[in-house]
Amino acid sequence: MSHQWKNLSFALAAMLVGALVTGVVMSLPQGMRNDAYAQQQGASIAARQNLSTAQNLSTSFRNVAEVLKPSVVSISTKQKLMIRGRTRNTLPPSLRRQLPPGFEDLFGFGEDAMPQRQPEREGMGSGVIVRKDGYILTNNHVVEGADELLVELSDGRKVAGEIVGTDPETDLAVVKIEASGLQEAVFGSSDEIRVGDWVLAIGSPFGLDQTVTAGIISGKNRVQGIVDGGNGFEDFLQTDAAINPGNSGGPLVNLRGELVGINTAILSRSGASAGIGFAIPVSLARPVLQSIIESGQVRRGFLGAAVDDVDPALVEKYGLKVTRGAFIGSVLEDQPAAKAGLQPGDVVTKLDGRDCIGGQQLRNYVASRTPGSIVAMDVNRDGESLKIQVKLDERTDESMSMFNPSTNVLGAALEPVTPATAEKFGYRGLQSGLIVTSVEDESLAAQAGLRAGDVIESAGGAELTSVEQLTTLMREAQKRDQTLRLVIRRGNTRMLLGVR
């Protein structure tokens, strides 16, 4: 009986607690009950939306990887290395017999004399098919010096590759294969991509082909001084998508599956990815690709001006009226910049309608145009806005040498005539010409009969005032395969010499 009463007591207590809780809830204001329900519903909806967003992003990654897979290749290289071992000596037997015992091996006479060996160095990289007829874009450092190229396609086919052309100044190369059923990648815009945008890096890190990593664009317009010994053209996209050895030459793509860069380098102390990778933007790569396919080499535009970034120091030093752009430090006479009217101190603010943020961008842009192209520039000159059109020449070693003119021509060191130099060599009343201060033995100048102390008054009938002028005249004569006639003053004698 006591047990039954005990169970009944528990039941009554539970009913009482339930009634109290119900009463408390029902006693809350209607607004508070609705708010509590709304918060629960809102949290549930937000969770479902977050999951949906994550699933959509995952789907985007998957779709891009599937679309790009047929366009991404692995590139294996082999390079033969010549190692010279000890070879048999060819000393006459009479001299060989005079060697002390045991010296035969030291001089390569022993039976273990080693012949030349040719071991091979192997390399691995990536590439991206950019045309259905077999053209592949990759890095120069992937194929540089290679004697053999083997390209592996996504379907497992392995095809021999041929280097069409390379461009060390951008670290780009074009490879050609003969194969059917190729799928080309679609080019996007590296100019329009923004910091924070998602990107995927695809390639063969450590030989693991078709590896896909995701990240964002961490920065743009990076210059690291790593291409062509620091003398190359750089405008890197920076990404935190994992890039490792073997990724070089592979594509960096946006979420539309469009090619925006060529993975090239990493910044790392260990040699593996540390979240800082660099890709060559397609805005820089595409003109190189087209030029190599068309001519097997890269032809670049030439402005004929030294440029720099506008920074606070330049603004203060020269009283510039703008704080961003490409500063024209100097212009070469009779070259495109000077002919178009550009002057030292000008600031280029736009290139063909697009903002110009600095000297590096101007340098890269000019180099990406073909010789003969016309570039429209917006220029600020002492606060005045000008529009200037420049017709570019071709960038060559000769044209670039004009920025650092040599005083040595044909093996003769030359100086323009000045009162001081004339007096030093015993001349009076000279108004123009070039004084020969020294001549290298067996040089072309020496063979032509030039001596230290001679004054070259004219070349090809033109009076000389600068070493650059003589260099230009020499270059023109060499192109025509003609002898250049020099009028020389030696003491009180004037004579004629010919040089080729």
List the structure tokens of 76: 């294996």
Bridge partners (DSSP) listed for residue 348: 326, 379
Dmax (CA) for the chain in angstroms is: 149
- Residue 442 burial class via C-beta count within 10 angstroms: exposed 0-12, middle 13-18, buried 19 and up: exposed
Q: What are phi and psi of 198, to 5 degrees?
A: -70, 145
- Tell me, what DSSP letter sits at residue 475? H
Active-site positions read: 141, 171, 248
Residue 456 tokens read as 């070259």
Phi, psi of 305 (to 5 degrees): -145, 145
Show contacts of 372-376: CB within 8 Å, 24+ apart.
373/301, 375/301, 375/351, 376/350, 376/351, 376/352
Distance CA 266, CA 153 (A): 25
- E-strand stretches of 183-325: 186-187, 198-203, 211-222, 236-239, 251-253, 258-266, 277-281, 301-302, 305-309
For the four alpha carbons of 306, 193, 125 and 166, in that order, the dihedral sign comes to negative
Is the distance from CB of 419 to CB of 475 less than 8 angstroms?
A: no
How is residue 382 annotated by DSSP? T
How far is Cα 461 from Cα 484, in angstroms, rounded to an integer? 9
- Would you say 360 and 336 are in contact if contact means Cβ atoms under 8 Å apart? no
Measured in whole angstroms, how far is the alpha carbon of residue 373 from the centre of its chain? Answer: 21
How far lies 460's CA from each of 78, 412, 473, in Å?
Answer: 52, 18, 8
Query: How far is the C-alpha of 288 from the C-alpha of 369, rounded, in Å?
Result: 10
Backbone angles phi, psi at 434, to 5 degrees: -125, 130
